[in-house]
Amino acid sequence: MSVDRADRADRADPATASGYSDHPPRMGFFTDTSICIGCKACEVACKEWNHVPSDGLSFTGMSYDNSARLSADTWRHVAFIEQRKPLASQEPGQSGDLRWLMASDVCKHCTHAACLDVCPTGSLFRTEFGTVVVQEDVCNGCGYCIPACPYGVIDQRQGDGRAWKCTLCYDRVSVGMQPACAQACPTESIQFGPLDELRARAERRVEAMHDAGIADARLYGHDPADGVGGDGAFFLLLDEPEVYGLPPDPVVTTRDLPAIWRKVGVAALTIAAAGIASFARAPR
C-alpha cells in the first residue's frame, strides 16, 4: 500500500483518527431487516443490561409499536411498518397483499460523528473499536449533540437532562462479549462483528435476495463514501430509507463549521480593521 493510500485509510478508520495507534478491528452492527420478526427481544435485552428506564407504557397509535422511536430511554427501537404493496410475483396494477416491515434501529456510530465535534466536555468519546460512547458522569446536559446528530438518535432524559444513547455495549465488547441486543436476537437479524466482514456478508446477502427476485433489497449506511463516511451500524432494507424514518442522504452536520469559522474570523478582522482605521482618522 502506498503512503498516500495508507494515509487515506488511516483517516477513514475512526479509531486511528482518534489517536489509537494499536487497536482492534472496527466493530459494528449489520441489521438484516428482512428476517426481523418484531419480537423486541433486542429492546428488552438492551434495557436489562444497560439499566435503561422503562418506557412505551402508553398507547402510541402507531400500529403495534409501543416505544415509537429511539430516545434516551430507548436505545434499540423496533419499528412496525404496515404496507399494502404488490409482491414480486403479482401483476402490475394489483393492489398487493399487506406486508409488515420490521426493523430494529440503533445509533449508527458514524465514521465522522458530528456529536463528537460539538461536545464541549469530552463526555462523548471514540473507543478503540471505532464506536461512540457517552460518559454520563461527564455530560453537563448542554444538549449540543442532539441537533448535531443527522439521525436524531441522541436524546436528553427527562428529569435528568443528560444525553443518552446506545454504547454498542462497550463494557461487553471490551471483554470479548457480544452486545446484549445481538446476543438476544433469535433470528440473527442483528449481527455483530468486525465491520469489514459484516459489509462483505451484507453485500452477499443483497445479491442473493436480488437473485431470488427481491429487487427492493438494498443496503443503507454501509458505504464509506456517503455523507457520514459510512456507519458503524448499517442495515439491509426492503424499501426506501424514508419508509423506515431514516434520512435518505445523511451528512455530517458539522462539515461546514471550519469554513463558517474562517468566514467569521475574516469578518471579525475586517470589522476590527475598520474600527481602528475610523479611530485613527477621528479628529483629536
Instruction: Give pLDDT tens digits for 159-169.
Output: 999 999 999 99
User: Residues 105-123: what's their mean pLDDT?
Assistant: 96
Residues 6+ apart with CB under 8 A from 184: 41, 42, 44, 45
State the average pLDDT for the chain: 86
Residue 258 has pLDDT above 80, yes or no: no
Distance CA 244, CA 196 (A): 24
Residues 6+ apart with CB under 8 A from 215: 88
Distance CA 229, CA 130 (A): 12
Burial class (CB in 10 A: 0-12, 13-18, 19+), 223: middle
Distance CA 249, CA 221 (A): 9
**pLDDT-based confidence at 108, cuts 50/70/90?**
very high
- Residue 98, Ramachandran bin (φ over 0: left; ψ between -120 and 50: alpha; else beta): beta
Comparing C-alpha atoms, which of 174, 150, 149 is closest to residue 163?
149
**pLDDT-based confidence at 6, cuts 50/70/90?**
very low
**pLDDT-based confidence at 147, cuts 50/70/90?**
very high
User: Which residue type is seen at 185?
Assistant: C
**Order of strands, sheet of 233-237, starting from the edge strand that comes earlier in the sequence:** 190-194, 27-32, 233-237, 218-220
List the helix and strand counts (H, then E) for the chain: 9, 10
C-alpha cell at 11: 483517516
C-alpha cell at 236: 439491509
Q: Which tens digit of pLDDT belongs to each residue from 159-217?
A: 999 999 999 999 999 999 999 999 999 999 999 999 999 999 999 999 999 999 999 99
Q: Which tens digit of pLDDT belongs to each residue from 41-94?
A: 999 999 999 999 988 666 666 667 778 889 999 999 999 998 877 655 555 555
Distance CA 162, CA 272 (A): 39
Distance CA 284, CA 279 (A): 10
Is 126:244 a contact under the CB 8 Å cutoff? no
